[in-house]
Chain A
Amino acid sequence: MDMVVEAGIIKQHLIDPEICIRCNTCEATCPVNAITHDDNNYVVRADVCNGCMACISPCPTGSIDNWRTMPLVRAYTIEEQLTWEELPAELSPEELEAAGVSGASAEAAEAPAQTQAQAAAEATEPVFNSAQYGASVPPWSAAHAYTNLFPPKTPTTATVVGNFNCTEAGFDSETHHIVLDFGVVPFPVLEGQSIGIVPPGVDAIGKRHHARQYSVASPRNGERPGYNNVSLTVKRVTEDHEGDPVRGVCSNYVCDLKVGDTVQVVGPFGSSFLMPNHPKSHIVMICTGTGSAPMRAMTEWRRRLRKSGKFEGGKLMLFFGARTQQELPYFGPLQSLPKDFIDINFAFSRTAGQPKRYVQDLMRERAADLAALLKDGASHFYVCGLKSMEEGVVLALCDVAKEAGLDWDTVGAALKREGRLHLETY
């Protein structure tokens, strides 16, 4: 499974001017006033729309349910939209790439909108839309992130200086820990950011492969502190979402790299899924599989800070899910971390003879501790892993809040507004 992290792209909400009848229902129902109109068109403000989908089912025409993957900086303005007579086509992969968006991240951006639309369509009850709580701003104390230093048109080169299997060998879901060194080329990254790797060669139709994005698994001062290097957590893709055999183009390339090989790298990407620097801030990390990469990066940075005496008691809590213990990346190293440093909770969904347990089940078991953290404005929540976990995790947080007598609407909105709940699923 390739790790995908947002890179300044959005799924922009648009209204089809050819189908819209200008009835004003969407503008009247939008809870955040994202919709406006002139004599010609009804349009959505990209910087205001939060994808809450409140406008979708009341629209009598279906014209409102249109989404386009766009680099944030190139999002269609309302002035542009007001002049439209028809919807513009999706940007081509080449146009997206030229704007610094790789195919993998574009697909990832697509997922939330589709899932939300489906959920809204199928709902008979009011829809719980987990994505609406995800923050688009970093925590206030996060360090400044550099992005797009090497866009897809001008990648840089890194040298492989390590490649280790970080799951138990022999399992299908083999996951590798790769270390890349940039030598003297500036490549500053923060925990939670990602980089893109361009696999060599061309695809089936003879086009150059686009970059695949992977979260950085090392802290800001490098896998080897003081050197200009980063590590990645890459799972070898051997089957697709339906379970049919497929060979992941980039994941297999990366997993098979040898020390001394060079790779083409783009990035770094991501400016909101960043950790707080405030020494009393708490971090709750919820992940599955290679979603552990940013969690490892944050944990390791905190561990180094603590070792150097620069940290003052912010709590770390980890909920980590996998099918089996053998498939858990970093299982061994995690076990050796002191209990008073990090509170680790493992969920295994396929352990023989054991009931299936998912991260949200563990979260409900730890409701008392999570409730205390939800009440504390210094707490930050990070969710990274498979898309299917996202709703369950946010619902669990919502239930924990409600059981503790908190108003989730208030708490959820604050988490989003203050950059304290980050969702990164694929």
Chain B
Amino acid sequence: MSTINYSEKIPNNVNLGEDRTLQRALEGWQPNFINWWDDVGPEGSTNHDVYLRTAVSVDPQGWAQFGHVKMRDYRWGIFLNPGDANREVHFGDHKGEKVWQDVPGEHRANLRRIIVTQGDTEPASVEQQRHLGLTAPSMYDLRNLFQINVEEGRHLWAMVYLLQKHFGRDGREEADALLQRTSGDANNPRILGAFNEKTPDWLAFFMFTYFTDRDGKFQLAALAESAFDPLARTTKFMLTEEAHHMFVGESGVSRVIARTAQVMNELKTDDAQKIRAAGCIDLGTIQRYLNFHYSVTIDLFGADQSSNAAIFYSSGLKGRYEEGKRDDDHVLKGQTYKVLEVRDGQLVEKDVPMLNALNEVLRDDFIKDSVSGVGRWNKVLEKAGIPTRLVVPHKAFNRQIGALAGIKMSPEGRVVSEVEWAAKRDEWLPSSEDFAFVASLMGRVIEPGKFAGWIAPPVMGINRQPVDFEYVRFG
């Protein structure tokens, strides 16, 4: 068992105490982290005792320990999955060589960039969700929000550890900069666009955790294949925590749909206005939120053709999703992949070198995974006897990055004129009126076992606790 040392200021299972310089550097960064948490962490939550999951070791029995903790006392630690002394690089040009425990000089800049980008997303979502605690639809949901927040904070730590341990002065500077950028800040925004978008309400939060944290799953899974072993081990462990975030999103949207379907059946109507009047979110609004979060998230995978992606793969820095389960040569030279482009007002596929299309490969894996989850939401409608189905929009819809950026496209994948786009935009993406309506539903419900009228209760509690368990004790 790989136990985590909780007697140290920074809990860890990486023998931090044996590296005094690193320990001092991290302990110097820690007060700034706490300041950041106090400034932009969950609003108004300082005295709550929250039923949080904390890792005491990285094995199955140890990493999901539950108890009431004040979030400021949560032990943001540095946890790496156990290593394998014989692990080999299993893709790219270094295939078959021993994995690296230190950063090879020639890959230093690229690895730093990958780690900084990943690290930047983690606190960003905490900042985006800062105000949501004040409008939680239930105590159960409030707890889930806080769990996500502390874990995103820990994931930031995970990346900061790598930066400070392996990248010297540059790493320390990058780690500091992570705390200086802020989501949505006009002067010093987060690195990736989606992390500067507002998460204005709980439907947006559920969509974000469904789609954007799923992006996290695919990015982390690709990094978990890395030849740089500390990165692989760190991200493997992060993946176990990320699962809860996706669960909050998937089950959250599913519960919204279930409640809407219930009210539709009770009122025997599919009229959006009547459903809204009954205090529920109509399926059209849910579809528009879905369109927005899906399209913003698939931009996170980067340009459809990218020489960086090829370099990252060939040099062993970042693999594909489930690299080990694929049965090709894991080098990919001379292979091709189909990407989309617009030619003569029509979408057409073209073959590009596979190595350059690896962002697209990862995006397509994500799309497949997302679509099956949307299928599970549709099962809720199907069971309730509602004929409407939710769909993910076309891959080219509302894209800001890559060859499809700026092309006006309907959700079904038809290239449209600027005029048509302007006329239909509010049918396809949430309008200010949609946001205002959803915001109007966001009242705080925090009595144990009670739920806001626009969302159904979950099928079971966290850690098999009852749904009316006191997940948050308000101090």
Contacts and interface: CB of A to CB of B under 8 A. Distances in A.
Nearest to B465: A121
Residue of B61, B62, B217, B459 with highest tally of chain A CB at under 10 A: B61
Taking residues whose C-beta sits less than 8 angstroms from the other chain, chain B's interface range is: 20 to 34
A57 interface: yes
Nearest to B247: A60
B186 interface: no
Nearest to A40: B372
A57 B59 CA distance: 11
Contact of A62 (B63, B243, B460): B460
B379 A21 contact: no
B251 A18 contact: no
Taking chain B's interface residues, is the majority helix, strand, or loop, or is none over half, making it mixed?
Answer: helix
A121 B247 contact: no
A22 interface: yes
B333 interface: no
A111 interface: no
A124 interface: yes
Contacts of A60: 243-244, 246-247
Contacts of B236: 28
A23 B247 contact: yes
A31 interface: yes
B60 A24 contact: no
Given A57-B60, A85-B379, A21 B247 contact: yes
Contact of A54 (B61, B372, B379): B61
Nearest to B380: A18
Contact of B63 (A24, A39, A55, A58): A58
Residue of A22, A60, A126 with highest tally of chain B CB at under 10 A: A60
Interface string B239-270: 11011101100110000000000000000000
A360 to B, nearest CB: 23
Nearest to A62: B460
Interface in A18-75: 18-19, 21-25, 28-29, 31, 39-40, 54-55, 57-62, 65
Given A19-B459, A65-B464, A121-B464, A24 B243 contact: yes
B92 to A, nearest CB: 23
B307 interface: no
A417 B10 CA distance: 42
A25 B65 contact: no
Interface string A262-304: 0000000000000000000000000000000000000000000
B248 to A, nearest CB: 8
A57 B61 contact: yes
Contacts of B242: 23
Interface in B312-326: none
Given A28-B239, A65-B464, A124 B247 contact: no
Interface residues of A, number: 27
Taking chain A's interface residues, is the majority helix, strand, or loop, or is none over half, making it mixed?
Answer: loop
Contacts of B251: 19, 21, 61
A337 interface: no
Nearest to B213: A23
B463 interface: yes
Contacts of B217: 23-24
Nearest to B382: A85
B302 interface: no
Residue of A21, A22, A58, A61 with highest tally of chain B CB at under 10 A: A21
B1 interface: yes
Nearest to B144: A60
Residue of A40, A62, A127 with highest tally of chain B CB at under 10 A: A62
B372 A57 contact: no
Contacts of B376: 18
A61 B250 CA distance: 10
Nearest to B61: A126
Nearest to B221: A24
Contacts of A21: 243, 246-247, 250-251, 373
A91 interface: no
A395 interface: no
B460 to A, nearest CB: 5
B415 interface: no
B22 interface: no
Given A21-B251, A60-B247, A121-B464, A126 B240 contact: no
Nearest to A122: B464
A58 B60 contact: yes
Contacts of A123: 61
Given A29-B240, A60-B247, A22 B464 contact: no
Contacts of B246: 21, 23, 60
A23 B60 contact: no
A19 B376 CA distance: 9
Contacts of A22: 369, 372-373
Given A39-B372, A61-B251, A25 B240 contact: yes
Interface in B135-191: none
A58 to B, nearest CB: 5
B64 A58 contact: yes
A127 B464 CA distance: 16
Nearest to B147: A60
A66 to B, nearest CB: 11
A127 B61 contact: yes
B350 interface: no
Contact of B463 (A29, A31, A55, A57): A57
Nearest to A117: B464
Contacts of A58: 60, 63-64, 240, 243
Contact of B64 (A23, A24, A39, A57): A57
Nearest to A23: B243
Interface string A285-329: 000000000000000000000000000000000000000000000
B343 interface: no
Interface in B213-250: 217, 236, 239-240, 242-244, 246-247, 250
Contacts of B247: 21, 23, 60-61
Interface string A378-403: 00000000000000000000000000
Interface in B44-78: 59-65
A54 B60 contact: yes
B20 interface: no
Contacts of B240: 25, 28-29, 58
B468 to A, nearest CB: 16
Contacts of B1: 126
Interface in A68-113: 85
A28 B463 CA distance: 19
Q: Nearest 3 pairs between A and B by C-beta? A: A23-B243, A54-B60, A60-B244
9 contacts: A21-B246, A23-B217, A23-B247, A29-B60, A40-B372, A60-B243, A60-B244, A62-B459, A124-B65
